[in-house]
Structure 1
Amino acid sequence: MGPSLISAKATEELVLKPAARDYFKELGLRTFINAAGTYTSMTGSLMQKEVTEAITYGATEYVNLDELHDKVGERIAELLECEYATVSSGAFGAMTIGLAGVICGMDTKKVSQLPDTTGLKNEVIVQEAHDIAYTHALINTGAKIVSVKSAKDLEKAINKNTAMLWYLNANTDLGEISREDFVALGKKHGIPTFIDCAADVPPVENLFKFTKMGFDLVAFSGGKGIRGPQSAGLLLGKRKYIEAARLHTPPRGTTIARGMKVNKEEVLGMLVALELYLGRDHEKEWELWENQIKLISDSAKSVKGVETEIHVPPHANHVPSLKIKWDESIVKISKDDMRKALRDGHPSIETVGNKEEVGITTWMMDPGQERIVARRVKEILENA
């Protein structure tokens, strides 16, 4: 009688227990395999279980927001062997508050004055090749971008209004001024330097490299390679600038960064994501990515007329990546139509590329998904 009763009860619970809600399905949204990378439009990365547990824990208690930022900032600085740190609202938010801190220092009247920079140092010097759309994070403060080409031009551009020198690590190879020379110029003229490393993890060494190189401020995205909350980031560097930057952040109200709030859940999630990332076996992870990319590459080039190239971008998104190309007179499908076929298929697969090639990475996939991608890529190319 006992076993049958237990069995009946278990069956009843199984039948009556509601299934977990599929929120995206309820909203009519398709999920997909991410073979593209950590793009904001594709919602970045997936957080690990320990990170989401930290976020859930953070939602269960009240704490003082400033005290939390203080404690977590100290902990991150200890982990990354730098002077100080804070969790920001992404790398973009880190750029805005970092520059605001440089412009205003600890003067709360100046803090409330922004984005009116009347009477304040309000020029940021940027290499022409680094002056991309994301410099909008700098002009949010009311600052003006001064674009230069060479070290000589940079020194000529320095004047009493120069607040900061800003460098884009992703475009290192495009500018005439090296990172080391940029830092040296800042020190020579007593002007703080800031490097944007939003997508520059991996390698893990970058989390330490640029503060040790001498940059006064360094920004990283939290929701890319580190796999923290998508709306979080890291601002690392000199304590005096980061403490000044914090004057522009919540809970303070009359500031330009009041809307760049980082809540307690995200702060904890970012800390745990960083701890997990630092403890990861990076060599083993790299080997996994190489094997995954090779599997997809071999599958694609087994189709007549298809060529592949495995490469690693030198700076941002520094992971094994794949370019797939083909002669469209032999394989009769365009690159755009190939990407559409992958997106519209089952399961949906997102890739990158242009009219010349289809681009694939595997570092945002769950292990095993590379086999699905390899099979679908070959299937579409073969049937074209």
Structure 2
Amino acid sequence: MRMTIDPRTIRRPTMIQPFRTRRRTFFASLAGLPGLHLLASEGRAAPREDARTPAAGRDVIGELGVRSFINAAGTFTALTGSLMPPEVVSAIQVAARKYVRLEDLHNAVGARIAELLGCEAALVTAGCASALSLATAACVAGDDPERIRRLPDTQGMKDEVLVQRTHRVGYDHAIRNAGVRMIEVETREELERAISDRTAMMFFFNAADPRGQIHREEFIEIGKSHGIPTLLDAAADVPPVDNLWKYTKMGFDLVGFSGGKGLRGPQSSGLLLGRKDLIEAAKLNNSPNSDSLCRTNKVNKEEIVGMLVALERYLQLDHDAIWKEWEGRCHRIIEALSEFDDVQTEIYVPEIANAVPHLRIRWDSEKRGIRPSEAVEKLRNGDPSIEPSPGSGRRDVVIGVWMMEPGDDAIVGDRLREILAGA
């Protein structure tokens, strides 16, 4: 078997020391708060708990006959994202037994998150798509009650959003929900010519940065020079941990993250970070305000609390230790396949979005007598079912190890060895 690892692609997340010091001081001041002691169990080491350990109560998924699987794919919405850690679930259970004024909780949690991440303001949203809709509504209707009620009717309002053509994705439907028109550009000259008195916002899809001609810093500079708010979609871009404050510090006016991916909060949660005036306007365009564009984007006390606890937990983790564990999972699967001389493996890290170690596996289909697509079906149809990364099956099988539970890597390695040997 041949294994190739390009060390330039193995990017380890680093912590910013001044921020870490402030964060330690902040958490020390919160030591007496209910439930915060739950953060300590994983604060200094890679997580070892199994989030799938059966909990007290009904297994409705099992009762309905819906099949679960080992997640060897990643944090994809269609695969229900990530598993919430026990301390997040525990905090949600406590919150579920209390009534609060939703505005009070939103304000308190937003202030806490803003302090943790060093930004002006923050809002827990119903996923990152909701963050995009709220950001757009804030830039178009602002805090004007009459305009808020009229969206997506944008008559008399700024109703154009500028975006690089390479940054168009299906997720920007969440932006178009506000009634705006997406104006595509490619170069800086085109972007500046497209700016007019109808321009409400400039949108940047973080994962597309390498494909565009206008990169982040230049995009921000153009927006600021023309007084146009900039929105960054960084939904799947944690880790590395410092992305949580990197982009607001860089100058983006609004930044959206998913809460149910690397942060392992509720799948129905997200974060909108940025300028205080725009975050306040986003709140007015949000649930529970009944006559607003995003009344449908309901996020209740359970998701708000779960998002905060997930974020607190994530900031306390030893990210270097976790990264080494992810690499270790890749190597253990590689070792399980070491008997096959025609099998090639490669550990790689995507440049942006899901930027964690993945394992690519290729083999000589004629010699082995099985195509990657057939191997994928055997993984899915086995017991337990194993779901590899989307896109697997064309030329290779890609295993995402970061959402696995302890011991899953051994099961995946054994299954792959059985499939390849049996073929």
Normalising to structure 1: TM-score of the pair? 0.94
Verify: 1:334 aligned to 2:371, yes or no: yes
Instruction: After TM superposition, list the pairs within 5 Å mapping 1:354-365 onto structure 2.
Output: 354-365=393-404
- 1:140 is displaced (CA, Å) by 0.4
Which deviates further from its counterpart, 334-343 or 19-28?
19-28
Match of 1:274 in 2: 311
* Equivalent position of 1:13 in the other structure: none
Q: Secondary structure at the match of 1:243?
A: helix
Using the TM superposition, give the Cα deviation of residue 302 of structure 1 relative to its aligned residue in structure 2, in angstroms. 3.1
What amino acid sits opposite 1:376 in the alignment? R
Matched residue type, 1:367: P
Aligned match of 1:108: 145
Which whole-Å deviations, capped at 9, do the CAs of 1:187-237 have from their partners, x for residues lacking one?
A: 111100010000000000000100000000000000000000001000000
Equivalent of residue 418 in structure 2, options 364, 379, 383: 379
Residue 283 of structure 1 is matched in structure 2 by 320
Amino acid of the structure 2 residue aligned with 1:84 = A
Closer, same or farther: CA 28–312 of 1 in aligned 2, 3 Å = same
1:172-195 CA distance string (max 9 Å, x none) = 111111100000000111100010
Tell me the residue number matched to 2:216.
179
Following TM superposition, the consecutive aligned residue runs of length 4 or more in structure 1 with deviations greater than 2 angstroms are 19-22, 297-302
How far residue 301 of structure 1 moved from its aligned partner, in angstroms, is: 4.8
Distance in 1 of aligned mates of 2:394 and 2:357? 21
Which residue of structure 2 lines up, in the alignment, with residue 153 of structure 1?
190
| Count of aligned pairs | 366
Preserved contact between residue 375 and residue 393 of structure 2 (Cα < 8 Å): no
1:27 matches 2:95: no
Report the 3-state secondary structure (helix = DSSP H, G, I; strand = E; otherwise coil) of the residue aligned with 1:330.
Answer: helix
- Name which of 408, 413, 416 aligns with 1:369: 408
Equivalent residues in 2 for 1:8-27, closer than 5 Å: 20-27=57-64
Residue 191 (structure 1) aligns with: 228
Distance 2:140 2:57 in 1: 49
Match of 1:299?
A: 336
Residue type of the alignment partner of 2:387: E
* SS of 1:203 mapped into structure 2: coil
Q: Give the distance between the partners of 1:302 and 1:349, measured in 2 at CA.
A: 22
Distance 2:224 2:316 in 1: 34
The question of 1:73 aligning with 2:110 is answered yes
Q: Is the Cα contact below 8 Å between 1:301 and 1:308 reproduced in 2?
A: no
Give a deviation string over 1:254-312, Cα, whole Å, max 9, x none: 11111101000100000000000000000000000001011112323532321111100
CA contact (8 A) 1:96 1:141 kept: yes
> Do the aligned partners of 1:127 and 1:147 also contact (CA within 8 Å) in 2?
yes
Structure 2 gap ranges (5+): 1-55
* Residue number in structure 1 paired with 2:362: 325
Report the secondary structure of 2:365's partner residue.
coil
- Per-residue displacement from partner, 1:43-100 (whole Å, max 9, x unpaired)? 0000001100111111111100011000000000000000000000100000000110
Alpha-carbon distance in 2 for matches of 1:157, 1:306: 51
Distance 1:53 1:121 in 2: 44
Q: Which deviations, in whole Å up to 9, do the C-alpha atoms of 1:303-336 show, x marking residues without a partner?
A: 2321111100011000000111111111111211
3-state SS in 2 of match to 1:165: strand
Cross-structure match for 2:279: 242
- C-alpha separation in 2, matches of 1:222 and 1:151: 32
Q: 1:167 to 1:381 in 2, by over 3 A?
A: same
The corresponding residue for 1:344 is 381
Taking the aligned partners of 2:133 and 2:332, their CA distance within structure 1 comes to 42
**Which residue number corresponds to residue 199 of structure 2?**
162
In structure 2, distance between residues paired with 1:52 and 1:223: 13
Name the SS of the counterpart of 1:136 in structure 2: helix
What is the percent sequence identity of the aligned residues?
50
Tell me the distance in 2 between the aligned counterparts of 1:253 and 1:167: 30
The residue type paired with residue 193 of structure 2 is K
How far the C-alpha of 1:33 sits from its partner, in A, is 0.5
Give yes or no for contact 1:44–1:230 (8 Å, CA) kept in 2.
yes
2:128 is matched with 91
Query: What amino acid is the match of 2:408?
Result: Q
Match of residue 8 from structure 1 = none
Following TM superposition, by how much is the alpha carbon of 1:151 offset from its aligned partner in structure 2, in angstroms? 1.0
Amino acid at match of 2:406: P
- Report which structure shows greater RCO (CA 8 Å, sep ≥6): 2
For 1:220 and 1:354, how far apart are their aligned partners in 2?
Answer: 29
Question: Is the contact made by 1:300 and 1:308 (CA closer than 8 Å) also made in structure 2?
Answer: no
